[in-house]
Structure 1
Amino acid sequence: MSIEPGQDTRPGPEGPGTPPGPGAPQDVERAGRRALWLGLAALVMIFVPVLSIFAAIPAVAAIVIGVKARRAARQGRRPAPGALPGIILGGVGALFFAFGIGAQLYLLEETNRYSKCQNAANTIEEGRQCKERLADDIEKKFGLPEGTIDGDSLPL
């Protein structure tokens, strides 16, 4: 059997000369890097208001792909660059997502009251007063000292 220039000499599933199958070194490396990029995407999405509701998707995908890449790398005794950081970033993104959802649910009554107030506001000053009332409600809910949260600093 002769080897032509450019032909892959690494053994695949059916022996030398066949293309490498799943679990090949480049597949494991790609999966590790993919997990890293998905974890980074999840973290970026958390801080973008409209995209944050979808941040759980790349976070969970980063964890799943990273774990699979690490397992494949361990079985083949090869590195999976980016898999562990991808798992960590995906986990952090999932935690931020869960914290955000929990905070929204915890403050649901206050934000609904704020929304009704804003809808009824006819002037800019009335809208500002709505923000101040929301800040006061949040302070009371969390037991913070009065004046801790400034209504103008709220991102609403």
Structure 2
Amino acid sequence: MSTPVQAPAGQQPADSAGRRAIWLAIAALAMTFMLPLAGLVMAVFALMAGIRALPQLKSAGKPPGIAVGGIAISSIALTLSALATAMQLYLMDEYSAYQNCLKGAGTVSSQGECFTQFRDAAQKKLPPDVLELLGAVQP
């Protein structure tokens, strides 16, 4: 009876490295739409996992497509989350005022007025067509 051959300590099989890269990239893309800052951090980890998986897959003679897909998805997630995080930081004061206004708003019409004030304040700070590009319309 022979014992199974195990990979050296600290190394994982190439297949699992590729799968890890793609799953981290998908998770980073999902996090980007929920919490952009968390998506930014996860996208960096996914990008690193994809880059590390490439040589492992190539040395094992496996196609590197899954790692390349992970790199591509994580790059998209990194770009989107960086833009969203930058926009949140840039409009932090306006968003804080909007949240304070909503706390005191007791009716739907007063909540709409809070949004109008936020939109007007953001329009003063941003270039004219940015809010149209972002799709910021009154709910």
Give the structure-1-normalised TM-score.
Answer: 0.70
Q: Which structure is higher in RCO with an 8 Å CA cutoff and minimum separation 6?
A: 2
Residues 60-99 of structure 1 correspond to what in structure 2 (within 5 A)? Answer: 60-99=44-83
> Rg larger in 1 or in 2?
1
- Supply the RMSD in Å over aligned alpha carbons: 2.7
Contact persistence 1:132–1:150 (CA under 8 A): no
Report how many aligned residue pairs link the two structures.
Answer: 133
CA positional deviation for 1:18 = 5.6
Q: Report sequence identity in percent.
A: 29
1:31 is aligned, of 2, 7, 17, to 17
Contact persistence 1:107–1:138 (CA under 8 A): yes
* Displacement over 6 Å in runs of 4+: none
Residues 2-151 of structure 1 correspond to what in structure 2 (within 5 A)? Answer: 19-22=5-8, 27-47=13-33, 49=34, 51-144=35-128, 149-151=136-138
- 2:137 is matched by which residue type in structure 1? D
Say which structure is richer in helix: 2
Which runs of no fewer than 5 residues in structure 1 stay unpaired? Answer: 8-16
Aligned equivalents of 1:74, 1:134: Cα separation in 2: 52
Give the structure-2-normalised TM-score.
Answer: 0.78
Aligned equivalents of 1:30, 1:86: Cα separation in 2: 13
Tell me: CA distance 1:78–1:144, structure 2 relative to 1, closer, same or farther (3 Å): same
Aligned equivalents of 1:130, 1:100: Cα separation in 2: 22
